[in-house]
Amino acid sequence: MAARRGNVGDPTARSALLDAAQELMVEEGYAAVTARRVATKAHVNSALVFYYFETMDGLFIALFQRGAENSFERLQAALTSKQPLWGFWEMIHDRSRSALTMEFIALANHRKSIRKEIAEYSRRFRRAQLETLSSVLAGYGLDPERWPAASIILVLSGISRFMLIEEAFDVDVGHAETITIVEEQIASLEGGRRRIGGGPTKSVGSPRRK
């Protein structure tokens, strides 16, 4: 349970603060991310939050950027792999980042600086997806008039995101059937999933929480 995050073991207080903030945000929501609580969790003094990030908004933005950078690299790896469609599908299914993403979206709802940050990142992310996948899909012989790459990205992302949200409430009606349908479609275009190392990607079948 201790080797779960990316920067654990990093010696600097800055990283420790970001780790602590992320954990708090996932487990108790953004409102629980206060300077004092973050600092306590990171075993440093709360004044350091303002030393490193100036304001609480600064902390949130730094946290978001760290995660976004990380996600972007993983996206590029997925999209340039032998099976980009499978890679994409598994990437957007990442359960471990879902709660954090939802928190940031809610936070962005009323903090302008964070909204701006997420909007920029989303466009960059989407552009990378679209560029790569549209040529991949054309290569698979898919008619871009009938099935634009942008729509496929949007549909897959929507399905995935919606199931992740529902899972958090222990609702999973239709999830398994839908995953089967989607994965059959992917397989018909790209062949069956060939697993290649690829780290901690979990299988997609709704293990019950708690």
CB 84 within 8 A of CB 133: yes
Smallest separation (angstroms) from DNA to the CB of 14: 7
Residues between 23 and 52 that touch DNA (CB under 7 A): 33-37, 44-48, 50-51
Q: Pick from DNA, its own copies, none: which does 36 bind, CB < 5 to 8 A by kind?
A: DNA
47 binds, among DNA, its own copies, none (CB under 5 to 8 A by kind): DNA
187 binds DNA (CB under 7 A): no
Separation of alpha carbons 49 and 59, rounded Å: 7
DSSP string computed for 62-106: HHHHHHHHHHHHHHHHHHTSS-HHHHHHHHHT-HHHHHHHHHHHH
When asked if residue 54 is in the footprint of its own copies (CB under 8 A), the reply is no
d(CA 37, CA 66) in angstroms, rounded, equals 20
Nearer to its own copies, 41 or 161 (CB): 161
Q: Are 27 and 38 in contact (CB under 8 A)?
A: no
For residue 19, give both structure tokens. 């780790």
Helix axes 56-79, 13-28, angle to 10 degrees: 90
Does 138 help bind its own copies (rule: CB under 8 A)?
Answer: no
Residue 47 or 165 with smaller CB distance to DNA: 47
12 sits near DNA (criterion: CB under 7 A): yes
In terms of CB distance, is 3 or 177 closer to its own copies?
177
Is there binding between residue 106 and its own copies (CB under 8 A)?
yes
- What's the DSSP call for residue 202? P
166 binds its own copies (CB under 8 A): yes
Our finding on whether 81 is near DNA (CB under 7 A) is no
Residue 13 has a CB neighbour count (10 Å cut-off) of 17
Residues forming the site for its own copies (CB under 8 A): 27-32, 99, 102-103, 105-111, 115, 118-119, 122-123, 126, 130, 147-151, 153-155, 157-163, 165-166, 168-171, 173-175, 177-178, 181
